């Protein structure tokens, strides 16, 4: 059976992008790689881009700098209507200057209407530079994207003051391209459809004068990284006297590691000598505002609560169902922390 | 060595409360502070000054009241300060502020480093630094924790992914400093008096910078605010440790608390 016939049976035809046209067109997703895979945010952006594209009557174009054909196909399976692939080996590892040159040249020629980048280390470097290079402006760290269809402008939701609230901001109609960075984990993952097919166009870039200006001397992996100061930590797992002994406290450290978070403690844990005083949370210690605070074997005295009232999501694990900590927890677990924590670590790894 | 540090003044979050229920911000005390991350940026500049000597220049775009932030920067150790303000500049958006800073830095001239904060608390924009680097066509290092200059080379330690990296570049370089990268110093007693009484803040308007109204036309428009949902406290999870754990992890993922 020939492939075309099979595709017809599957009800899928190759997406054929009509390249001709005037002015700024289509929604472009700047794909990002992590090791040999696509970053999850790239797939999430394809999903969001498809929704915007259907309103605008536009195509979703993906650009992959330094990847390969296999990853290009993955982009198509996840919603790209066409992929532009820079396969120059010099572009394998990320470096700002060559990447900006590749993207800048391509966009200057193709004139995108909208460009989506991940709000990641890489996307956060690229987007503002692209904005300046293309004489546009970027809206960054977006957690919501809608369209003002009458003006064909993007309306972006951007959290401010550490997420206390969000500003909603639209591009002015004369801004082209409209460049945004999209926060990872906000938009859902698209369905992976292996029967989707579309064109991959290999493109080349003249890297003359675009050599990296910053030399990387050495890279230190996660394990050796210095701890994030508690007031800045996004995830904190905190131990109280209820962890019982050093062994119990070690469970809290393991849970923090499994969540890539920081370890902290109540005064109870400091008094027991399991953790340094500078890691104490509360009135006499640090005031924290993480996205997630897990209190393990902490009673929840007012002096402790004082330090966590701005935490966005609090989980409490305590054996005593009347412990005050439950009054301030989004989720409470009445159980022996020594039994529950290993189970949580297991569930995280599953 | 000349180091330019752009500084932004913001509304002090300790002076207002956000009511999710009323979807409103209640300002109890209207006070302004230096964007905390910019103090980290200034601290990186001042440490370079302490070790090898440097002229540190603070620059800010905004309303006339931003003068205060610049004097504080001088009390902390900056050698000179420039305030870019007039009616048009006080109203402009991020793109306009970026253009004004770029022109001012050009006018000051001969810089070796520009050190900005990674992001401001009141907009979370995180784009002014790289924007300036592109404007001047210079190297940039983002997410910096520490930086030193020796033998004319800049070395920096920066956060990258889940780890960090050590990098080197030849000036001119733009650095953006990670929030909380260091513990900013306190202003020096003697400098406080001088900064507020004796020293001058140079003021430039749009015209002095060679910008006209069209350059400062906002490229974005505000469409209001949204607030996170009110919290519902007190949900209890029950069952075996395994059930409870599975429940919890699923909830955290659904709510985007973890990935
Ligand atoms: C001026 C002042 C300042 C203070 N500042 C601080 C501060 O900054 N930070 C701070 O934390 N405290 C502070 N305190 C102390 C505070 O009042 C409490 O004494 C302290 O927080 C109690 O610590 P804890 O919850 O770890 O211990 P405890 O109060 O002893 O609570 C232990 C909890 O663990 C539970 N538990 C026991 N075994 C288990 C198990 N196997 N599994 C699950 N749960 C279990 C118990 O039910 C209990 O609720 C301050 C006090 C004062 C007077
Ligand atoms: N109005 C401003 N005046 C001077 N510097 C600014 C201004 N706005 C932002 N900056 C600088 O740019 C950095 C990043 O800001 P932003 O891109 O607005 O998040 C800040 O940390 C400051 O160093």
Which three-class secondary structure state does DSSP give residue A218?
strand
Segment B65-83 mean pLDDT? 97
Q: Is residue B242 part of a domain?
A: no
- pTM as predicted: 0.81
Ligand 1 atom 39, closest CA: A242
| Alpha-carbon A30 to chain mean position | 14
pLDDT > 90 in chain A, percent = 80
Q: Which among A175, A214, A228 has CB closest to B139?
A: A214
Closest approach of A186 to chain B, Cα-based (Å): 7
Look over chain B and give the mean of its residue pLDDT values, rounded to a whole number.
93
What is the DSSP code (8-state) at residue A276? -
Assess contact for B11 and A167: CB atoms under 8 A: no
Instruction: Give the separation between CA B106 and CA B249, rounded to whole angstroms.
Output: 52
- Pocket test of ligand 1: the residue of A277, A299, A335 to mutate, having most ligand atoms within 8 Å of its CB, is A299
- Pocket test of ligand 2: the residue of B9, B35, B132, B180 to mutate, having most ligand atoms within 8 Å of its CB, is B35
Question: What's the burial of B3, exposed, middle or buried (CB within 10 Å: 0-12/13-18/19+)?
Answer: buried
Q: Do B222 and A169 touch (CB under 8 A)?
A: yes
- A306 Cα to the center of ligand 2, angstroms: 31
Q: Do A344 and B248 touch (CB under 8 A)?
A: yes
pLDDT value for A18: 74
pLDDT > 70 in chain B, percent = 98
CA-based torsion, A283, A286, A289, A295: positive or negative: negative
Does A188 touch chain B if contact means CB atoms closer than 8 Å? Answer: no
| CATH code assigned at B190 | 3.40.50.620
What is the DSSP code (8-state) at residue A286? B
Segment A85-89 mean pLDDT? 95
pLDDT tens across A261-319, in order?
999 999 999 999 999 999 999 999 999 999 999 999 999 999 999 999 889 899 999 99
From chain A residues 189-208, the ones with a CB under 8 A of any chain B CB are: none
Q: Which residues of A touch B228 (CB under 8 A)?
A: 163, 165, 312
Residue A304 tokens read as 């402790």
Segment A245-272 mean pLDDT? 95
Domain ranges of chain A: 3-202, 230-349
Question: What is A230-349's CATH number, 3.40.50.300, 2.120.10.30, 2.60.120.10, 3.40.50.1220?
Answer: 3.40.50.1220
Give the ligand with the smallest distance to the CA of A239.
1
Instruction: Give the separation between CA A278 and CA A230, rounded to whole angstroms.
Output: 9
Number of H helices, E strands in chain B: 8, 15
Q: Do A213 and B164 touch (CB under 8 A)?
A: no
Inter-CA distances, A182 with A53, A140, A224, Å: 16, 7, 29
Q: Which among A132, A326, A334 has CB closest to B134?
A: A132
| Strand duo A60-65 + A82-86: pairing | parallel
Assess contact for B31 and B55: CB atoms under 8 A: no
pLDDT at A221 over 80: no
Q: Range of B61's domain?
A: 2-204
pLDDT value for A227: 72
Q: Indicate if A230-349 has the same CATH topology as A3-202.
A: yes
Q: Is the CB of A319 under 6 A from ligand 1?
A: yes
pLDDT at A9 over 60: no
Q: Is residue B182 part of a domain?
A: yes
Domain count of the fold of chain B: 1
Residue labelled with tokens 């209890």:
B236
Instruction: Give the separation between CA B36 and CA B121, rounded to whole angstroms.
Output: 8
Residue A136: closest CA among A76, A75, A94, A177: A177
- A328 Cα to the center of ligand 1, angstroms: 14
Q: Is residue B246 part of a domain?
A: no
Q: Which residues of B touch A169 (CB under 8 A)?
A: 220-223
Q: Do B130 and A229 touch (CB under 8 A)?
A: no
Q: Which residues of A touch B214 (CB under 8 A)?
A: none
CA angle B74, B78, B79 (to 5 degrees): 100
pLDDT tens across B115-147, in order?
999 999 998 889 999 999 999 999 999 999 999
Q: Is the CB of A238 under 6 A from ligand 1?
A: no
pLDDT tens across A134-186, in order?
999 999 999 999 999 889 999 999 999 988 899 999 999 999 999 999 998 78
Residue B198 tokens read as 């004796």
Which three-class secondary structure state does DSSP give residue B226?
strand
pLDDT tens across B196-222, in order?
999 999 999 999 999 998 999 999 999
pLDDT value for A1: 47
pLDDT tens across B150-187, in order?
998 999 999 887 778 999 999 999 999 999 899 999 99
User: To which CATH superfamily is domain A3-202 assigned?
Assistant: HUPs (3.40.50.620)
Segment B10-16 mean pLDDT? 94
Here the ipTM equals 0.83
Assess contact for B164 and A225: CB atoms under 8 A: yes
Binned at pLDDT 50, 70 and 90, residue A3 comes out as low
pLDDT value for A11: 56
**Cβ neighbours of residue A287 under 8 Å, at least 6 residues apart?**
A231, A281, A306, A307, A310
Residue labelled with tokens 């001058």:
B200
As beta bridge partners, residue A139 has A180
Longest dimension (CA), chain B: 71
């Amino acid at each position: 059976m020939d492939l075309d016939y099979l595709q017809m049976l599957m009800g899928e035809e190759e997406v054929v992008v009509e390249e001709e046209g005037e002015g700024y067109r289509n929604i472009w997703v700047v794909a990002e790689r992590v090791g040999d895979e696509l970053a999850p945010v790239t797939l999430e952006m394809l999903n969001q881009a498809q929704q915007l594209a259907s309103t605008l009557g536009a195509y979703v174009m993906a650009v992959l700098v330094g990847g390969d054909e296999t990853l290009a196909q993955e982009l198509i399976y996840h919603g790209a209507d066409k992929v532009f692939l820079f396969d120059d080996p010099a572009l394998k590892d990320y470096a700002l200057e060559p990447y900006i040159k590749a993207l800048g040249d391509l966009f200057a020629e193709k004139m995108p209407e909208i460009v989506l980048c991940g709000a990641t280390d890489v996307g956060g470097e690229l987007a503002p530079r692209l904005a300046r290079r293309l004489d546009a402006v970027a809206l960054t760290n977006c957690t919501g994207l809608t369209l003002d269809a009458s003006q064909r402008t993007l309306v972006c939701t951007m959290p401010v003051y550490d997420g206390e609230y969000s500003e909603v901001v639209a591009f002015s109609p004369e801004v082209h391209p409209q460049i945004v960075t999209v926060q990872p984990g906000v938009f859902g993952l698209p369905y992976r459809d292996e029967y989707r097919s579309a064109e991959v166009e290999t493109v080349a870039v003249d890297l003359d004068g675009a050599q990296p200006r910053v030399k990387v001397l050495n890279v230190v992996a996660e394990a050796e990284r210095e701890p994030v100061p508690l007031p800045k930590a996004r995830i904190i797992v905190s131990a109280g006297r209820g962890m019982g002994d050093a062994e119990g406290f070690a469970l809290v450290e393991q849970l923090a590691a499994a969540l890539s978070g920081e370890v902290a403690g109540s005064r109870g844990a400091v008094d027991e000598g399991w953790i340094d005083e500078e890691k104490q949370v509360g009135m006499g210690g640090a005031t924290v505002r993480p996205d997630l605070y897990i209190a393990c074997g902490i009673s929840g005295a007012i002096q402790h609560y004082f330090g966590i009232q701005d935490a966005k999501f609090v989980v409490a694990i305590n054996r005593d169902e009347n412990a005050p900590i439950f009054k301030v927890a989004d989720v409470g677990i009445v159980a022996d922390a020594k039994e529950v924590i290993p189970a949580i670590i297991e569930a995280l790894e599953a | 060595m000349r180091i330019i540090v752009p500084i932004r003044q913001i509304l002090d979050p300790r002076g207002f409360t956000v009511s999710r229920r009323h979807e409103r911000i209640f300002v109890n005390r209207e006070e302004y502070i230096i964007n905390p991350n910019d103090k980290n940026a200034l601290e990186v500049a001042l440490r370079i000054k302490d070790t090898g000597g440097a002229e540190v220049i603070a620059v800010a775009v905004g309303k006339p009241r931003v003068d205060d932030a610049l004097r504080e920067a001088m009390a902390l150790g900056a050698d000179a300060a420039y305030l870019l303000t007039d009616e048009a500049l006080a109203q402009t958006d991020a793109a306009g502020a970026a253009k004004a800073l770029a022109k001012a830095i050009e006018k000051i001239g001969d810089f070796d480093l520009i050190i900005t904060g990674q992001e401001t608390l009141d907009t979370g924009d995180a784009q002014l630094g790289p924007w300036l680097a592109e404007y001047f066509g210079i190297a940039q290092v983002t997410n910096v924790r520490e930086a030193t200059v020796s033998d004319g080379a800049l070395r920096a330690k920066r956060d990258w992914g889940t780890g960090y990296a050590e990098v080197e570049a030849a000036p001119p370089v733009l650095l953006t400093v990670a929030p909380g990268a260091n513990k900013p110093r306190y202003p020096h007693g003697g400098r406080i008096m001088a900064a507020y009484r004796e020293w001058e803040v140079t003021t430039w308007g749009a015209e002095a910078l060679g910008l006209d109204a069209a350059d400062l036309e906002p490229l974005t428009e505000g469409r209001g605010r949204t607030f996170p949902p009110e919290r519902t406290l007190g949900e209890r999870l029950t069952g075996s440790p395994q059930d409870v754990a599975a429940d919890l992890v699923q909830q955290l993922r659904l709510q985007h608390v973890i990935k």
